[in-house]
Amino acid sequence: MKNMTRTLIFGTALLLALTSPLHSQEEELSAEDAAALKSHEDFMNSLSWKTEGSGSLGSRADLVIPEGYRFLGSGDSSKLMEYYGNLSNGAELGFISPDHMEWFAVFEFDDVGYVKDDEKDKLDADEILDQLKEGQKAANEELSRLGHSTLNVLGWHTPPFYNKETNNLEWAIRLSSSDGSEILNYKTKLLGRRGVMDVVLVCSEEQLASVIPEYQGLLNGFAYKKEDNYASFTDGDKIAEYGLVGLIAGGGLLVAAKSGLLAKLWKPIAFGLVAIGVFIKRIFRGKTPDSI
């Protein structure tokens, strides 16, 4: 089973930077910080941001880009994730966030085949949580080897649920990091004919109540190509080796850890720049979509 588990770390330093007055932080910038700001600005402006119309998620799907949002396609999405400390394998198909970039979502497709939803009434949250905790033990061995903070599964923020009308599987898990921070991962699996679009929302737990409706509104603008949507399944198509429970629990985690593949599949995203909120505001402040 192929595991596409992502753990996304949203640092408290970023939140502090975003909520602090811009002018006061700019005034306090040292020469070293100013150089870092310029480097960051150059990098962000080197990316091909799209701020209107729709964005292509590879050849599988498209996403509407509402006003006030910015989107990156494949290639640039991977560059941005690597820049934020992500162990990217280059498979990211899309990145979208509001202009202020206080939260974002990343899209990646897993071509596992058609995932049957016959387990939709058998999502035992307690049993799945136990599997996640067990899998995390193996993941932590690899994280330690790579020099990353280890993670502890605390429990559900939102137990897994399946929307049979849209074929979306969603859940949110709470974790703690060995560096003392707490992490919230909100995940959505968009089932398609030939696999699953994996969407990971990155925000703070305090933001979640206000962000989720906005995020789910964004997903209303997601659409598989007609020949790739879930309803287009035909006899003879590839069938996934696991169902909805497997999508959540990530049963391949133990095997991946033993084979060394976890380094490619496990993607912790860490924001290491203390003043990144200032950088974002300065780069995009006062710019029109045409100038970005």
String of DSSP letters for 166-234 = TTEEEEEEEEEETTS-EEEEEEEEEEBSS-EEEEEEE--TTTHHHHHHHHHHHHTTEEE-GGGBGGG--
DSSP annotation string for 33-99: HHHHHHHHHHHHHHS--B-SSEEEETTTEEEE--TTEEEE-TTHHHHHHHHTT----S-EEEEEEET
Burial profile 76-103: b = 16 or more Cβ within 10 angstroms, e = fewer: bbbbbbeebbbbbeebbbbbbbebebbb
Q: Which residue has the higher pLDDT, 159 or 274?
A: 159
Q: Using an 8 Å Cβ cutoff, are 268 and 86 in contact?
A: yes
Say if residue 13's pLDDT is above 50: no
The pLDDT > 70 percentage for the chain reads 74
Q: Using an 8 Å Cβ cutoff, are 34 and 275 in contact?
A: no
Q: Using an 8 Å Cβ cutoff, are 96 and 80 in contact?
A: no
Of 241, 270, 255, 247, the C-alpha closest to 139 is: 255
Say if residue 16's pLDDT is above 90: no
* 8-state DSSP, 158: E
**Strand 61-64 relative to strand 222-224, pairing:** antiparallel
Give the phi and the psi of residue 25 in degrees, each rounded to 5: -75, -35
Q: Which residue has the higher pLDDT, 168 or 285?
A: 168
Q: What is the pLDDT of residues 83-141, one digit of tens each?
A: 776 556 778 999 999 998 888 999 999 999 999 999 998 899 999 999 888 888 877 88
Q: Which residue has the higher pLDDT, 281 or 11?
A: 281
Q: What is the pLDDT of residue 85?
A: 61
Say if residue 54's pLDDT is above 80: yes
Q: What is the pLDDT of residues 216-256, one digit of tens each?
A: 999 999 999 999 999 999 999 999 998 998 888 763 332 22
* Cβ neighbours for 272, distance < 8 A, ≥ 6 positions apart: 11, 84, 85
**Cα 259–Cα 261–Cα 267 angle in degrees, nearest 5:** 145
Q: What is the pLDDT of residue 250?
A: 66
Q: What is the pLDDT of residues 192-211, one digit of tens each?
A: 999 999 998 888 778 888 99
Cα separation, 150 vs 158, in Å, equals 22
Q: What is the pLDDT of residue 257?
A: 28
H runs (alpha helix) in 92-178: 125-145
Q: What is the distance of C-alpha 264 from the center of its chain?
A: 15
Q: What is the pLDDT of residues 157-206, one digit of tens each?
A: 999 999 888 899 999 888 888 888 777 778 899 999 999 999 988 887 78
Q: What is the pLDDT of residue 185?
A: 77
* Cβ neighbours for 231, distance < 8 A, ≥ 6 positions apart: 193
